[in-house]
Amino acid sequence: MISLQHLPNGFAYVEVRNSVATAKIALQGAHLFHYARHGEEALLWVSGASAFKEGEAIRGGVPLCWPWFGMHLSDDSLPQHGFARTVLWEFVETTEEEEATEVTFLLKSSATTQQWWPYHFELLYRIRIGSELTLELTTRNSDESAFSITQALHTYFKISHISNIHVKGLHNKPYYDALTHTKQIQHGDITVNEEVDRVYQEVREPIVLIDKQRSITIDNEGSDSVVVWNPWVEKCARMSAMEATSYETMLCIESANAFDDERIIEPHQTHTLRARIQLG
């Protein structure tokens, strides 16, 4: 079952309910903000302080960072993480199978987008909701010039408590530490007991988030970089739409083309960033 729903303030989202799971995707930003298999904990964390209002990215779920990740390289008046997550997308297609539903959203360049980024493009975002969750963001260059993008599926995972988790799969990977502005190498699994803001490179194997008895496997394609972020106490207190204890129950593991993993897309060519998320 698929329906278009509206919050009292008019904020629109698509609700999906099938035989295995439920999901909710806002038209603004094609922003997946809920996914849960029946009878299980939600996969994604969403802040209780998130406003769900026009022009403001939902704090949590899977914000789409596009066509740049982080701050714009030459104009810091432009929004962090690009504009795709705060503009309205079109809900263009749905396919229902026995145990999965696929929904597709489209964002095309316009006079609005060209005020931030001067290229012609089409973004197609397919979300497959079943016992697994697959996110597939395809950029088509419909311009006559090549362009470069950086991007991320900025996934906020819901966790039992930050002290219970560890992340496997990044041992020996190089990363940029955004807190110290230094390049480091990961030794062993990641545990979190302070602010963590790292962009890992050369990542070509699945990453596994272990949270007590629950394991979440993130298998990326079209991506060689992964961002791991937790704001911890002080930054959490300073950030918008965060509650004081938000950092305790969320961890971002972001499937990305970030920094050195930028992608050049030639005219009329495409690039797809795909994340397959399996729950154990």
Residues in the interface with ligand TA6 (CB under 6 A) total 12
Residues 6+ apart with CB under 8 A from 27: 12, 13, 14, 88, 89, 90, 91, 105
d(CA 65, CA 260): 16
Q: What part of residues 50-69 is at the interface with ligand TA6 (CB under 6 A)?
A: 57, 63
**Cβ 235 vs Cβ 195: under 8 Å:** yes
Instruction: Work out whether 251 is an interface residue with ligand TA6 (CB under 6 A).
Output: no
197 binds ligand TA6 (CB under 6 A): yes
Least spacing, CB of residue 157 vs ligand TA6, in Å:
13
With the CA atoms of 247, 250, 253 and 255 taken in that order, what torsion angle do they form, in degrees rounded to the nearest 10?
-120
Q: Is 78 in the site for ligand TA6 (CB under 6 A)?
A: no
80 contributes a contact to ligand TA6 by CB under 6 A: yes
Q: Does 229 bind ligand TA6 (CB under 6 A)?
A: yes
Per CB under 6 A, 81 contacts ligand TA6: yes
Task: Please say if 248 is a catalytic residue.
Answer: no
Q: Which is nearer to ligand TA6, 63 or 222 (CB)?
A: 63
Q: Which residue, 135 or 252, is less far from ligand TA6 as judged by CB?
A: 252
**Which is closer to ligand TA6, CB of 103 or CB of 258?**
258
Q: Which is nearer to ligand TA6, 123 or 196 (CB)?
A: 196
Report, in Å, the least distance between residue 270 CB and ligand TA6.
24
Asked if 105 touches ligand TA6 (CB under 6 A), the answer is: no
Nearest-CB residue to ligand TA6?
229
Determine how many CB atoms are found less than 10 A away from the CB of residue 106.
14
Catalytic annotation, pick one of 31, 34, 136, 254? 254
Is 102 designated active site?
A: no
Q: Look at residue 112 and give its three-state secondary structure.
A: helix
- Complete DSSP assignment for 149-217: E-EEE--EEE-S-GGGEEEES-TT-EEEETTTTEEEE--SSB--SS-EEEEE-S--S-EEEEETTEEEE
* Position 254 contacts ligand TA6 (CB under 6 A): yes
> Site for ligand TA6 (CB under 6 A): which residue of 17, 37, 70, 168?
70
Given the DSSP bridges, would you call strands 207-211 and 214-221 parallel, antiparallel or unpaired? antiparallel
Shorter beta-carbon distance to ligand TA6: residue 18 or 225: 225
Stretch (H or E) spanning 123: strand 121-129
3-state secondary structure (DSSP) of residue 162: helix
Q: How far is the CB of 199 from ligand TA6 (least distance, A)?
A: 8
Side chain identity, residue 224? D
Nearer to ligand TA6, 48 or 280 (CB): 48
Q: Residue 184's Cα: distance from chain center in Å? A: 24
Q: Could you give the CA distance from residue 217 to residue 208 in angstroms, rounded to a whole number?
A: 4
Angle at 190 between CA 70 and CA 279, to 5 degrees: 85
Minimum distance between the CB of residue 253 and ligand TA6, rounded to whole angstroms? Answer: 10
Instruction: Provide the annotated active-site residues.
Output: 154, 254
Binding site residues, ligand TA6, CB under 6 A? 57, 63, 70, 80-81, 154, 178, 197, 227, 229, 252, 254
